[in-house]
Amino acid sequence: MRVIIRKTYEEMSKEAAALVKKRLQQKPNLVLGLATGSTPLGLYRELIRLHQEENLSFKNVRTFNLDEYYGLAPTHQQSYRYFMDTNLFNHLDIDKKNTRVPDGMAADVEAFCLAYEEAIRRSGGIDLQVLGIGGDGHIGFNEPGSSLASRTRLVALDEQTINDNARFFARKEDVPRFAITMGVGTVLEVREIILLVNGAKKAEILARAIEGPVTSLISASALQFHQRVSVFLDEPAASALKRVAYYRFSEEAEKKIGREIF
């Protein structure tokens, strides 16, 4: 894993955006995997700036989002479709019909999940997946105990996730109890991953995920099985890591040899 640590959330977000930009320049029809939540907002703001001020184009990009609340329509202000439109897609030159978010209103959930996996495959597979980590160690909505081989499916949200996300809803009872999420196995098949983590609150779970044993109780720990993961952190999020000196050394070494070291 590459672990890139920056002083602030803003610097960390810009660094991650620079990686997206680089991949996009190498492949203008990139297939991007996207995430919601507070964490990627800085990255999305910077991508919008790169589009508006530096002409970075998303015209040929296709996207797949990780997850969606089950039972929320795309027009619901807390749906992840609404989040993606308002925080990213509406501000880019992306073709909306090339953006996919799981359908929280799917009547036949199983058929929908199979079709979502099939759509990912037909696109040629996800080139670059953006991830955050939940307070309980989840990626997507793969709550503790999710099989490391899991695929896109309906899941019940963990109590901790419901509490974490209650801040976005008028009342805790309004937080949906279910979601459709790509599985851990689905995520492990992407070609490259960006994991974004900021803030002291996530320091402990992040350290367990990347420096602890792989366990289905922390689905982010499965990323240790992936060959190309860049972890972008601000200093508070990095504060529980044991190997910071090595990560900094490795980043310096990258600069010297002019290539990424995973």
Q: In whole angstroms, what is the distance from residue 82 CA to residue 76 CA?
A: 7
Which of these is catalytic: 143, 158, 164, 234?
143
Shortest distance, position 239 Cβ to ligand PGA, whole Å: 16
Query: Is residue 132 a contact point for ligand PGA (CB under 6 A)?
Result: yes
Residue 136 catalytic?
A: yes
Q: In whole angstroms, what is the distance from residue 116 CA to residue 120 CA?
A: 6
Tokens coding 158? 């963990």
Stretch (H or E) spanning 161: helix 159-165
- The one among 33, 104, 134, 183 contacting ligand PGA by CB under 6 A: 134
When the beta carbons of 57 and 169 are compared against ligand PGA, the nearer one is: 169
Shortest distance, position 253 Cβ to ligand PGA, whole Å: 30
Cross-strand pairs, 181: 67, 153
Shortest distance, position 28 Cβ to ligand PGA, whole Å: 28
**Which residue intervals of 27-58 are DSSP H helices?**
41-54
Whether the Cβ atoms of residue 193 and residue 125 lie closer than 8 Å to each other: no
Q: In whole angstroms, what is the distance from residue 261 CA to residue 253 CA?
A: 8
Residue 54 catalytic?
A: no
When the beta carbons of 56 and 66 are compared against ligand PGA, the nearer one is: 66
- The one among 48, 92, 133, 205 contacting ligand PGA by CB under 6 A: 133
Whether the Cβ atoms of residue 120 and residue 104 lie closer than 8 Å to each other: no
Cross-strand pairs, 63: 32, 99
Tokens coding 228? 């190309």
Nearest residue to ligand PGA, by Cβ distance, number only:
37
Sheet strands side by side (includes 67-69): 67-69, 178-181, 153-156
What x/- string results for residues 184 through 213 when contact with ligand PGA is judged by CB under 6 A? ------------------------------
Binding residues among 93-122 for ligand PGA as defined by CB under 6 A: none
Shortest distance, position 67 Cβ to ligand PGA, whole Å: 9
Residue 91 catalytic?
A: no
Q: How far is CA 86 from the centre of its chain?
A: 17
Which of these is catalytic: 15, 46, 67, 158?
67
What's the angle, vertex CA 71, arms to CA 62 and CA 175, rounded to 5? 105
What x/- string results for residues 9 through 48 when contact with ligand PGA is judged by CB under 6 A? ----------------------------xxx---------
Residue 95 catalytic?
A: no
Task: Give the residue numbers marked as catalytic.
Answer: 67, 136, 138, 143
Footprint on this chain of ligand PGA (rule: CB under 6 A)? 37-39, 132-134
